[in-house]
Amino acid sequence: MPKSKAQKTRNRRSKQAVKSRDDKQIEIKLVRRAYDSLLFKKSLPTKVRTIRTSIREFIKTYNKRVRITLQKIDLYKRFWHPNKTTQFSYQAYGGIKGFYMPSQDSLEKGVFIISEEQGLLPAELVSDFPKRIKKWFTDEPNRERAYSCWIRGSEEPPYYYLVLLKPGWAKSSIIRFPGFFRIKGQVAAKNGDRISVYVQSNDENIEVDSEIDILGFDDKNKLKLYDWVMIDCKFKQGHLVMTKYVKLN
C-alpha cells in the first residue's frame, strides 16, 4: 500500500531528526577533543574568545568535513568554558578489543577476554546497550570485536571491570587505538610509580564511584592528594599504564 503524503513527511522529518542528533554528537566530541588537546599541550589560552577560536581551528584541521561556527561552539560551552568547570568532570572511558562472554545466568553480565593475551576482566553491558547487537553473543560468541566502554576500579583481582557501551567508536572519538583509556579525576593515592585516581558519575542521581589504579606514573608535577588530573593510558599485561598526563588545577 503506497504511503500517504503525511506518512512521507513524518518519515522525512524522523530521518532529519536522527541525522541532526548524530551530527550534534559528533560536534560535541570534536569540541571536547579540541579542549582536551589544548590542556595536554599546556597551551590553553586565558581568554575565552581565544579558546573558542583555538577550538574551531583544531576542528578545521582535525576533521575537514565538519564545519563548525563560533556560535555553534558557544552552544556547547558546558563542555569547554572555563567558568563551567569543564575540566573538573570525571571520565573513565576508552576502547577495547576482544571477546565478550556472557554468563550462563545473564546476557548482561559476563567476562571480557582482551585480545593479544592482555588478560580477562569482569564485564557487563550498559543498560541501554543496543538490543539488536545482543544476539551476537549467542549467534557468534567466538568473534573478536572492538567496543567503546567505561572502565571501573575494583579492590579485588583483576582490579578492573568494564561496562561495554556499544561496538566500535567514531573517528571523532578520543579513543586512539584498542586498549586506549582516558581517566580524569582526583588523586586518591600514590605509591612509587602507581597512582590511584578517584572517579564518579557526573550525574548526581547515579551512585557510581571507584578508584582506578594506573602504573608507570612519573610525577614531574609533584601531585598532591585530591589534585585533578587527566591521564591517557594503554591497557598492557592486565594493567592500565600511563602514556601521558596533565594536572588540571
- Tens of pLDDT, residue by residue over 127-163, are 888 888 888 887 777 788 999 999 999 988 999 999 9
Q: What is the pLDDT of residue 197?
A: 94
Which of 20-29, 62-71, 123-132, 187-196 shows the lowest per-residue confidence on average (mean pLDDT)?
A: 20-29
Counting residues of the chain whose pLDDT is more than 90, the rounded percentage is 29
Calculate mean pLDDT across residues 200-207. 74
**Stronger pLDDT, 156 or 219, i.e. the higher one:** 156
On the question of pLDDT at 61 being above 70, the answer is yes
The pLDDT confidence band at residue 12, using thresholds 50, 70 and 90, is low
Is pLDDT at 97 greater than 90 in this prediction? Answer: yes
How many CA atoms, within 13 angstroms, populate the side-chain half-sphere of residue 85? 6
Mean pLDDT along residues 7-24: 60
Of 199, 240, 200, 244, nearest to 221 by C-alpha is 244
- Over residues 183-200, the pLDDT tens digits come to 998 899 988 889 999 998
pLDDT of amino acid 42: 66
pTM of the complete model:
0.68
**What pLDDT score does 2 carry?**
59
pLDDT value of position 66? 82
The predicted structure's pLDDT at residue 249: 73
| b/e map 195-204, b = 16+ CB within 10 Å | bbbbbeeeee
In this predicted structure, the answer to whether residue 123 has a pLDDT above a threshold of 90 is yes
Which pLDDT belongs to residue 72?
Answer: 81
DSSP structure string for 35-85: HHHHHHTT---SSHHHHHHHHHHHHHHH-TT----HHHHHHTGGGT-GGGT
Measured in whole angstroms, the distance separating CA 72 from the mean position of its chain's CA atoms is: 22
Average pLDDT of the chain to the nearest whole number: 82
Helix axes 5-40, 48-62, angle to 10 degrees: 110
83 pLDDT band (50/70/90 cuts)?
low
User: 111 Cβ partners below 8 Å, 6+ apart?
Assistant: 100, 101, 103, 120, 121, 122, 123
Residue 204: its pLDDT value, please?
A: 64
